[in-house]
Structure 1
Amino acid sequence: ESTRHQVLRHSVFVVAARDEQVSNFVQNHGFSIYGSELALKYSHIATVSATFCCDYSCKSLGILDWIQILLYVLDHCFEYLCPLRLIFYIDKFHNLLAKTATSHLNLETNMNKIITEIRAFVKME
């Protein structure tokens, strides 16, 4: 099994086992890659979870903000957000993921401006 699959499998088990009342940061969960201890940052909306596996140099709150924006955008752009919609519309999902990652939307805090920019982007597709 590849390292990528091991990280993915381990991350799913760790996040799924967590209580919803605890924080969205998991550190020291016993998994490392290439000698670096990994931390998980995650969030849920509906039945969709977004989990990022990072080393400790990543800014936890910045990653969590970006995850929240990504989930908000996905929820807005996919009516009835669910994992199957992301699978069936994988190209749209990848485009929205790329747009939120490369356009620095996480620097913007006004959700109306974020949605306006995403709507313009979706119309261009």
Structure 2
Amino acid sequence: MIKGIIIVNNSGQARICKFFQQVHREGYSPEEAQQSVVQQVYKQVSERPDSFCNYLEGSIMQWGDATKLIYRHYATLYFVFAVDKLESDLGILDLIQVFVEALDKCFENVCELDLIFHSDKVHYILDEIVMAGMVLETNIVTILSGVNDQTKLHQKSTSKLNEALGKATSTKMGSPGVR
């Protein structure tokens, strides 16, 4: 099972975080516990030389010793999947590759700013691939089709909302000079 997906930049700033298993830490709020996990994950993966493998077994305090970190470092971003020991290392590496390729196709040469300014779309893509810690889809064509459908639905609902707001505003304000 996938326990969490964390994307951080080279400075340790979280860009996308999705937790599928709750993290708890004595004396900390849930948000503080998640921030602690992000800091621990960043510290562990950033200190490893690029020549080392992309699998890291160790202890993330809040998830226990049965957690593996599988990650890829692309340009300025670390894509980290925290998984239990039963998950296939190569399977998760392939899943990261599918995720990055989907991002690249959606944003044309994806960069860190795309993750910041289009986080909703990034979450759509991630939701097409992983839901509740389980892998749903790995076929990139199917993933992109689902994301495109969601984007069209969002655009349609936004245009209807804007149209309704425009009508409400013009009705409320009334015509100039009419009392």
Q: Tell whether the structures are fold-level matches, with TM greater than 0.5.
A: yes
Moved more, 73-82 or 92-101: 73-82
Answering whether residue 137 of structure 2 is matched by residue 105 of structure 1, we say yes
Rounded to whole Å, the distance in 2 between the matches of 1:62 and 1:54 is: 11
TM-score w.r.t. the length of structure 2 is 0.57
> In the alignment, what sits opposite 1:111?
none
CA RMSD, aligned part only?
Answer: 2.2
Q: 1:24 aligns with which of 46, 50, 54?
A: 54
Gaps of 5+ in 2: 1-27, 152-179
Higher relative CO (Cα under 8 Å, sequence separation at least 6) belongs to 2
> How many positions carry a matched residue from both structures?
117
Once the two structures are TM-superposed, the CA of residue 35 in structure 1 deviates from its matched residue by 4.1
Identity value in percent: 31
Rounded to whole Å, the distance in 1 between the matches of 2:64 and 2:44 is: 20
Gaps of 5+ in 1: 109-113
Q: C-alpha offsets along residues 67-111 of structure 1, whole Å, 9 cap, x if unaligned?
A: 1110111122112312221110011111011112257333x4xxx
User: CA contact under 8 A between 2:102 and 2:144: conserved in structure 1?
Assistant: no
TM-score w.r.t. the length of structure 1 is 0.77
Q: 1:39 aligns with which of 54, 62, 68?
A: 68
Q: Which has the higher helix share?
A: 1
Secondary structure at the aligned position of 1:105 is classed as: coil
Answering whether residue 38 of structure 2 is matched by residue 8 of structure 1, we say yes
Q: Greater Rg, structure 1 or structure 2?
A: 2
Q: Which has the higher strand share?
A: 2
> In the alignment, what sits opposite 2:108?
79
Answering whether residue 95 of structure 2 is matched by residue 63 of structure 1, we say no
